[in-house]
Amino acid sequence: MNEIVYDVIIVGAGPAGLAAALYTSRDRLKTLMLEKLAPGGQINTTDRIENYPGIERIDGPTLIEQMQKQVVNFGAEIKSGSEVTKLEKLKNGNITVYCDKDKCTARAVILAPGSSYRKLGVPGEEEFRNAGAGVSYCGTCDAPFFKGKHVVSIGGGNTAVEETLHIAKYAGKVTMIHRRDEFRASKVLVEELLAKANEPKSNLIIKYNTIATAIQGKDKVQSVRLKNVKSNKEEDYSCDGVFIFVGMEPNTDFLKGFVELTKRGFIKCDCAYLRTSVPGVFVAGDCRAGAAMQLATAVGDGVLAAMMLKEYYRNPAWWKEPVKT
């Protein structure tokens, strides 16, 4: 039997990949999406999206369910539980994508594998790494496990602020620590956070200029070693759990040696057309160099990469052409 050659294989079924698939499937291109887990990626762990234009408020899983339905209705095929391990450019220009037990070939590929939680890298983080033992990277998922308890949340970005506000709905007390005295998060979120911390009898405390140097306990978290980076004062701070929100790392290990990556592992591309170093391989979303790491921009990337496919099909030499001005 002849092997199916897809028009496009999309690696990753998060917002970027699903947006790309919407456009390719509406263009009647034979589209296969390969997803390591289930569609959605990081956005599945968000219970409140209120910066996606046109939608006042929605949770991640609902949005993803709708996006998924939309692409499947237009004919895209989604294979969940398919972890891509390797890609290979063939002499005829096609690209073979290898999964654990399977391989498939396409005329072009859109890489949209997203990003994962960055680790703090302190003693105890690995040892207590599940919500039962006390270390978590997802407040949306694990906050209910800490009802009435005292938790420490770490970070100063949008995720840290949003997730800390969510955790405060469940926990008896939340101590948020940030390594500086100014938040990276959007002003509107910081205002909400400070308003919550300033409420009379608030269960939210913020400690600035503070880092965690160890997570400690016996079988489960019992305290965090805190250090004030200005005074160098250290203390063992009692708590039942630690939520770590210190940013994201691109999921690109499997691409080493195939496409060019930056030192931090982001996929190099030209930002106008999202072409990578390998002809026929586009990139979209959080995993690319220069990504704004937003839902709306990931979706925009997916759409752009899908539209650029046609330029490549029309003329593969277009890959090397400079960006039109």
Q: Which spans of this chain sit near ligand NAP (rule: CB under 6 A)?
A: 51, 120, 154-160, 162, 179-180, 184, 211, 245-248, 293-294
Distance CA 135, CA 224 (A): 11
Question: Would you say 110 or 248 has its CB closer to ligand NAP?
Answer: 248
Q: Which of 47, 104, 142, 269 is catalytic?
A: 142
Shortest Cβ 222–ligand NAP spacing (Å): 21
User: Which is nearer to ligand NAP, 82 or 158 (by Cβ)?
Assistant: 158
287 included as an active-site residue: no
Which amino acid belongs to residue 190?
V
Lookup: tokens for 28: 């009647």
Q: What are phi and psi of 12, to 5 degrees?
A: 110, 125
Choose, from 7, 59, 99, 141, the residue flagged as catalytic: 141
Residue closest to ligand NAP (Cβ):
157
Q: Do the beta carbons of residue 70 and residue 163 sit within 8 Å?
A: no
Asked if 271 is an active-site residue, the reply is: no
Residue type, 154: I
Residue 107 near residue 8, CB atoms below 8 Å? yes
What is the 3-state composition of the chain as percent helix, strand, coil, each rounded to the nearest 5? Answer: 25, 30, 45
CB of 137 to ligand NAP, least distance (A): 10
Nearest approach, Cβ of residue 212 and ligand NAP (Å): 8
CB of 86 to ligand NAP, least distance (A): 28
Using the minimum distance from each CB to ligand NAP, give the nearer residue, 49 or 106.
49
Q: Tell me the closest approach of the beta carbon of residue 78 to ligand NAP, in angstroms.
A: 24
Enter the DSSP assignment of 6.
E
Interatomic CA distance for residues 60 and 45, integer angstroms: 7
Residue 300: its H or E element: helix 295-314
> What are the φ/ψ torsions at residue 278 (nearest 5 degrees)?
-110, 120
Q: What's the start-to-end Cα distance of the chain, in Å?
A: 46
Q: Please, which residue, 19 or 120, has the CB nearer to ligand NAP? A: 120
User: Per the residue annotation, which of 138, 239, 269, 287 is the catalytic one?
Assistant: 138
Q: Which residue lies nearer to ligand NAP by CB, 214 or 278?
A: 214
**Catalytically active residues, by annotation:** 138, 141-142
